Amino acid sequence: MATHSPSALIDTDILIDNIRGVARASTFLVQQRTTGPLHTGVVSAMELVIGCGNSRDLRIVQVLLSEFVVMPLEADSSSEAHALVERFFLSHGLLIADALIAASAIRGGMTLFTKNVRDFQMIPGLSVVRPYQ
């Protein structure tokens, strides 16, 4: 049986919009689900948990993440993220979490869907798309 390789990685900000009930985020995720399983990275999953203020918030995050394949960090992604931080922290302020998310998308050959295109647009080899305004 052939395995379906993911073509898209969903960034944290879109997941937050979905939790907050932003219709465009929900519509986008429904559309993405028609092409196969939804994927996000473990860094985004951890960012969602860190944003929880109580156990109710955590449960909402857990339910949302149960609908996703949460992609682990791979060794090559970690090395790529390190190189990206060295290259782009001083010039563009690239943060560790964003570097890890970008590296996961690059190494996985995936498009990164995010509202924060500016945080990633300087990274060569990364396909970045803002799916809604």
pLDDT at 6: 67
pLDDT band of 11, cuts 50, 70, 90: very high
Structural domains of the chain, count = 1
Please report the pLDDT score of residue 5 as a whole number. Answer: 54
Residue 116 lies in a domain: yes
What mean pLDDT is predicted for residues 62-86? 96
What is the per-residue burial (b if ≥16 Cβ within 10 Å, else e) of 71-82?
bebeeebeebbe
Q: Which domain holds residue 100?
A: 8-127
Question: Domain for residue 36, yes or no?
Answer: yes
Question: What would the mean pLDDT of 71-93 be, rounded to a whole number?
Answer: 96
The answer as to whether 112 is a domain residue is yes
Can you give the pLDDT at residue 1?
38
The CATH number given to whatever domain includes residue 28 is 3.40.50.1010
Inform me whether the pLDDT recorded for 4 exceeds 50. Answer: no
Compute the average pLDDT of residues 83-88: 98
Indicate the SS3 state at residue 5.
coil
For residue 70, tell me if it sits in a domain.
yes
**Position 54, amino acid:** N
Segment 51-78 shows an average pLDDT of: 96
3 in a structural domain: no
